Amino acid sequence: MQDANTPQTQESINKNISFFQNNLESYNKNIQSLDTYKAIRQAVDQSIPDIDHLLDIGNGGVFDYDTSLVKKITALDLFLDQLPDTFVHPKNVIFKTGSALEIPEKDESFDGVLMVMLIHHLTGDTVKSSMKNMQLAISEAHRVLKPNGKFILMESCIPPWFLHFEKLVYRLAGKFAARFLEHPMTLQYPKELIGDEIQKKFNHVDITEIPLGRWVLQFGFKVPSFITPVCPTLFIATK
């Protein structure tokens, strides 16, 4: 699925597939009911009504937005061809299997590209290779967007100081996650860093922090948001 230049580890790919496939129902229930994800849904809903054909990358069979606001949606993830035939999805959605790092779509084919809580899942062996994956995903989104197309990225961001901590523990935490967690390893970024990467490719980027509710998901667990440094952040850019 990915070539040698796309260094998301096989471990990350396998665990993303198994975790989100095996836990689709419970994960979706949390997304639909927890307050933080309601606020995310409201913000995404406000940003999509002007889009005809939307590519939703890292969809996972989960829609944290109102799908009726868009004419046509192509949902892309690593495992959507493996969902059972009985899996019900909205009529205006088609499921495709493929990677954010090598989008199986032609240049300039979509009016909008959406990524909700995807970027921190594109982990490589090192912090550096993970960051390269983030850049590649943004560049791929840019490639498949039509001129004037809209890029909407909702991501769980951290304060800059926390990235220093993540860098220190990345290898050890990766080994721990590989051994003891069903959830894949993740790496979250400060909004400034993601904003700079988007700015390199797109004309202009608007950045909005979404207020956290009382609960947030971390490594698949529902935790009180006050114990985490994360802040959901919405980036909107135009090609």
Ligand X SMILES: C[S@@+](CC[C@H](N)C(=O)[O-])C[C@H]1O[C@@H](n2cnc3c(N)ncnc32)[C@H](O)[C@@H]1O
Residue 234 is a binding residue for ligand X (CB under 6 A):
no
Name the DSSP letter for residue 189.
Answer: B
DSSP per position, 104-119: SS-TT-EEEEEEES-G
Q: Which residue among 36, 77, 134, 140 contacts ligand X (CB under 6 A)?
A: 77
Give the per-residue contact string, 112-151, with ligand X (x = CB under 6 A; - = no): ----xxx--xx-----------------------------
* Kind and range of the H or E run holding 198: helix 191-201
For 148, other C-beta atoms within 10 Å of its C-beta total 9
Only one of the segments 57-65, 83-91, 140-148, 199-207 lies at the binding site for ligand X (rule: CB under 6 A); that segment is: 57-65
Q: Which residue among 7, 9, 31, 189 contacts ligand X (CB under 6 A)?
A: 31
Q: How far apart are CA 163 and CA 204, in angstroms?
A: 25
Q: Which residue among 15, 36, 43, 64 contacts ligand X (CB under 6 A)?
A: 64
Q: Pick the closer one to ligand X by CB: 77 or 197.
A: 77
Q: Which residue among 7, 9, 20, 141 contacts ligand X (CB under 6 A)?
A: 20
Alpha carbon 221 to chain centroid, angstroms: 17
- Exposure string (b/e) for 62-92, b if CB count within 10 Å is 16 or more? bbbbebebbeebbbbbbbbeebeeeeebeee
C-beta of 186: minimal distance to ligand X in Å? 8
Q: Which residue among 9, 36, 59, 225 contacts ligand X (CB under 6 A)?
A: 59
Only one of the segments 54-62, 124-132, 166-174, 203-211 lies at the binding site for ligand X (rule: CB under 6 A); that segment is: 54-62
Sign of torsion over alpha carbons 33, 157, 206, 237: negative
Q: How far apart are CA 190 and CA 36, in angstroms?
A: 18
Q: How far apart are CA 146 and CA 126, in angstroms?
A: 33
Q: Which residue among 70, 100, 177, 212 contacts ligand X (CB under 6 A)?
A: 100
C-beta of 91: minimal distance to ligand X in Å? 19
Identify the three-state secondary structure at position 93: strand
Residues that bind ligand X (CB under 6 A): 8, 16, 20, 31, 57-60, 62, 64, 77-78, 99-101, 116-118, 121-122
